Structures are given as C-alpha cells and as structure tokens.
Structure 1
Amino acid sequence: MSALPQIFDPTRIARNLARRRDGGNFVRDLVIDDLGDRLGAHMRAFSDALLIGPDAATLPRTLVTGAGSVEAERVEAFSGSDFPALPEGDRDLIVSLLHLQAVNDVPGHLARLRRMLKPDGLLMAAFVGGESLTELREAFLAADMQISGGASARVAPMTQVRDAGALLQRAGFALPVADVETHIVRYASPFALMADLKALGAANPLADRPRRFTTRTLLTAAAEAYAARDADPDGRVRATLEIVWIAGWAPHESQQKPLRPGSATVSMKDILKKG
C-alpha cells in the first residue's frame, strides 16, 4: 500500500504550540462551552471517559451529561506525532477537541478511537473546518499571484461538514451526525489576525509550506487584498471561524437500524392518495 500524503507537519505543530506566550484561547473556550451544551443533551451516564485536545492540562477534568458527571482522563493531542499516545483500556465516552483539523489520516485515527470504545460507546469531536479563514486564504492567493505569479500553501485545507459524517461511517461508527457552528470574528486589521493566529500556535502547519520567510512585501499585499475584500465600514476586518462537530456510536445490537428495502408496511402510493 502506498503511504498516505503528509499534509500536516506534526513536529512543526508541536513546536508552534510550545512557542506560544501564555494567555487565553478564545477558540478553546468557545468549543468547551459548546461541548457542555451538547453533552448535557445526552440523558446517559458514562463511567470511563477520555478527553483529547491541545493544552490537555487546561481542559476540564469533569464532563457533565444530562444524567450525571464523569471524570475524564486527559490526553495531549499534539506531541510531535500524527496520532497522540493513548492509554490502554476501553471507554464508553471519548471526546476530541481541536485536533482532527491537523491529522493526516483522519479515517485511520477515527477507526483507532472506535476500537477503544465499548459497544454503544460515544465519540464526540470538534475541529476547525468548513470555510474557516477563507478570507485569509484568498488574500494570500491574491498576494502570491501579484508578487510571484504563482500560489504557495499558506493556509491549511479544511474538512467540510458535508464530508464529516462520511468520515465517521468509513471508520465504522453507527448513527453518525455532523453539524457546524459558524462564528464571525472581527479584527482591527489583517495583521492583528495574523498575530492572533501565531499567539494561538496556529501558524502554517503544512508539510509543504514555503521554506523561506514570508517577506514584508507579500504580507503587505495580502493585508491590502484582505482589507479590500473583507473590511467593514468601521475599518475592521472579518474572519470566518467554523467549528465542525461530529458524533458517532460504537456499533451495538440495541441501536436503531434502518429498515430493509421492501420491508415497509405502508406504500408511498397510499400515503399520496390520502393527501
């Protein structure tokens, strides 16, 4: 079998995170708040939980569902390898936060997590995807074309929500669901956005990134293109942040299954006649 293409550089990601200054992380805070709402809608008690994410020590120890709370074992997502080192043992709840957007083999990693789940165990994951940072991507594309006549990989590719459910199915999960939360974040300037991305440890994570330092000329051209396309009347610029949420269950005989073709007891023809 041929090796999977290495889109992301896990060593680079770990280095970027290690170089950050101490401070808040509004993306993490958004996701944790949303996680609380989503788990709270599940009227099920869990007993063995695993929580995977960056800055694992800052993630909550206790996860709360509609039926009670469970203490989670926390695992650092980015340690320099594509897959984090996971502890032994079966779980009935695995939560992954802000990790899958930088995994080279997403189906393989999801299948690995499924094998760690007990039958009818739940996986819930959130990752940056969809149209996130599309404004920055287009600005750098315009600047590259203006300065050098070509394009370089400067913003990571994003998984669309329409593909997320299929990834769960491919990994063997039952009852897969996927949706997206969209946030528009405003910055004083494109340079403020770039500085925030660096502060969050989200500098270019691509294996095929340009090896030379980005020039001031290119940055200025990208900032001008960004402001021309995506500035509000007050001069601030918009940045799209989309958080894709997925959830799936390890297969179990008790789960609802689709009807076999031809097994329906009422025909569509009869229903239409009643209308």
Structure 2
Amino acid sequence: MTQAPKSQPELFDRQALAIHRTRHQPEALFLHELARDEVEDRLTLVNRTFTKPAIVTPFAEIWRNSFQNSKIVADEDVLDLAPGGHDLVVHVMGLHWANDPVGQLIQCRRALSEDGLLLAITLGGRTLHELRSALAEAETQVSGGLSPRVAPMGEVRDLGGLLQRAGFALPVADVVPLTAQYRDSLHLMQELRAMGEGNAMTQRLKHPSPRALFAQAEAIYRQHFELPNGKLPATFELVCLTGWSPSESQQKPLRPGSAKVRLAEALKVPETKLPD
C-alpha cells in the first residue's frame, strides 16, 4: 500500500508566535504605531468615505482610537471576515508571519464589497538585514553551519505580485524605510522580543545557543555597521500594499495597439527604428 506523501512543514510556528505576542510590552510597539499613522495618512489621500472598515491586527489596542465602528480581527489563518461585508480592509503587521500570505489576501478580497479598498502593511525584505548578516557570519564561524534565526521577508516586487495573484485590481506596492539605533545587538534582540517579534520559525533551534555566538555576532555587527556615535543601526522596512476589489466602474488599461498617437509624436522627439 502506497503511503500519501507527507506535507511540507509550515514555515512559521503560529503557536510559538502567539506565546511571543502575549509577552509583548506596549511601549515597544512603535512599528505598529508607525503603521497605524501611515494607514491614517494614506486614507486621507483617498477620495472616499468608508463606513464599514475591518482591521486585521495582532494588537487591537493600537487601533482603539482609530476608525469608529471598525471590526477588529485577529490575524489568524482563517480571518473572521464576512464575505462582502466591508468597504475597507486594513491588514497590518501580520503578513510577514503568515504561512499563506496569498490566502490571507484572498480572504481580504472576498471580504470587500465591490470597489472596496485593501490597505496592507507588512515588513519587507531589508528588515533587520544587519542582524541577519551578523548572526549568519558568526554562526558559520562558531558552529560551522547556519540555523533559522531571522524570519525571511518578501521583497517589495514579490509582495506586489501577491496582490495580483489574490485578484486585486490596480495593485500598488511601495516602501517606507526606517532605521532605529540600539546600544548593542543584545538591546536590539531584547526589543524584538518586547515587540512580540521573536523567532517563531518552525525549524528554529530548540536549545540555547552558545554565548560565544552572540559575542561574535556583536563584534561582526560593529565591524560592518557601527555608527559614529557608537550605536548599532537596525533597518525596518515597511511595505505598503494597496489594491481594490474589482469593479466595472474602475479605470481599465488600454488594449495594446489602441493608442491614437505615437509615443515619439507625444514626446516630440525623433523616432529611431531599432536594429533587427
């Protein structure tokens, strides 16, 4: 009898993530506060009044004074969102921990009424690149190998592609960079734990690492990235994703070959034939 192949293990241990989040310190949630401010600023630029918003977030308290009558939803694998029940869905600081980010976005699209707006903010690929590189080099030197320590995060181009895969119209992705400064790498790792952003990868080491590893990582971090004031920089990259639930009323791209004016004529430049 042939046995069914075993499914691949999920990238993130959601149970461990939930435990990490219960231990968060409110004063350490500055990234969530920045994301909230970014959402509020961007919505002021949208010529639309939203009356049925939903907010997907791991920390409801951040949104307590924002968006009256909004439904606050935890970023579980299955989102508590009714189909077509919202004209705005805000998904904040959870996609980088999703085992199925496309599935999360599809659920958001299905929860939107026609011509509804999704605004998602997640951490992007350059987040903590300094710490990632210092730990990887140190572990190679101390242990002769690598283990998962900093979660992989999507690049802006790839994250924008997820919107298209999820069926959103008019998708846009852009980046808000932020650099914070820390006394040392231990200070940074302590703050990550206080954010609820500790290592929750399924394949993470389950036993303590040697002290020599972190001492070497600190030395490497300083060698490559130390600032003139003696502090260590840490990059956080917020990727902002916007997309609309499809509607016949939305602007559509022109069909190829349908232009009435040649590009060279519109730009008032001579047209040069390309070589064969």
For the criterion TM > 0.5, the same-fold answer is yes
Give the AA of the match of 1:165. G
Instruction: State the partner residue of 1:25.
Output: 29
Is the contact between residue 61 and residue 73 of structure 1 (CA under 8 Å) also seen in structure 2?
A: no
Residue 148 of structure 1 and its aligned partner are, at CA, apart by 1.1
Q: Which residue of 1 aligns with 2:273?
A: none
**2:102 corresponds to 1:107:** yes
Corresponding position of 2:157: 162
Correspondent of 2:234 among 226, 231, 239:
239
TM-score, with normalisation over the residues of structure 1?
Answer: 0.90
Answer yes or no: is the 8 Å Cα contact 1:8–1:207 preserved in 2.
Answer: yes
Instruction: Give the Å deviation of 1:269.
Output: 5.0
Tell me which residue corresponds to 2:62.
Answer: 58
1:5/1:41 CA distance change after superposition, 3 Å: farther
Q: For residue 254 of structure 1, what is the aligned residue in structure 2? A: 249
Deviation at 1:124, TM superposition (A): 0.2
Per the alignment, do residues 248 and 218 of structure 1 end up closer, same or farther by CA in structure 2, a change over 3 Å counting? same
2:86 to 81, 85, 91: 91
Q: How much has 1:87 moved relative to structure 2?
A: 5.0
TM-score (norm 2): 0.90
Deviation at 1:89, TM superposition (A): 5.6
Q: Distance in 2 between matches of 1:87 and 1:21?
A: 31
Q: Which residue of 2 aligns with 1:150?
A: 145
More strand by share: 1
Residue type of the partner of 2:162? L
Match of 2:18 in 1: 14
Partner Cα distance (2:115, 2:80) in 1 = 23
Aligned CA distance change for structure 1 residues 139 and 48 (closer, same or farther; 3 Å): same
- Whether the 8 Å CA contact 1:92–1:120 is kept in 2: the answer is yes
- Counterpart Cα distance in 1 of 2:62 and 2:264: 57
- Partner in structure 1 of residue 74 of structure 2: 76
Kindly indicate whether the alpha-carbon contact (under 8 Å) linking 1:61 and 1:72 is maintained by their aligned counterparts in 2: no
Residue 95 of structure 1 contacts residue 125 of structure 1 at CA under 8 Å; is this kept in 2? yes
Give the counterpart letter for 1:9 in structure 2: D
**Count of aligned pairs between the two proteins:** 266
Structure 1 unaligned residues grouped into runs of 5+: 64-69
1:35 lines up with 2:39 in the alignment:
yes
- The 1:254/1:266 distance shift into structure 2, 3 A limit, reads same
**Equivalent-residue separation in structure 1 for 2:33 and 2:178 (angstroms):** 13
User: Partner of 2:170 in structure 1?
Assistant: 175
Measured against aligned partners, the alpha-carbon deviations of 1:29-60 in whole angstroms (never above 9, x if no partner) come to 11111111101111101111101111113314
Q: 1:226 aligns with which of 203, 212, 221?
A: 221
- The whole-number CA distance in structure 2 between the counterparts of 1:273 and 1:24 is 55
Deviation per CA, 1:144-175: give whole Å up to 9, x if none: 11111111110000111111221100000000
Q: Which runs of 5+ in 2 are unaligned?
A: 271-276
Q: 1:165 to 1:55 in 2, by over 3 A?
A: same
Please tell me the residue identity of whatever aligns with 2:251: Q
262-271 vs 183-192, greater mean Cα deviation: 262-271
Tell me how far apart the structure 2 counterparts of residues 87 and 271 of structure 1 sit (CA, whole Å). 47
Q: Deviations over 1:152-201 (max 9, x none)?
A: 11000011111122110000000000100001110111111011111111
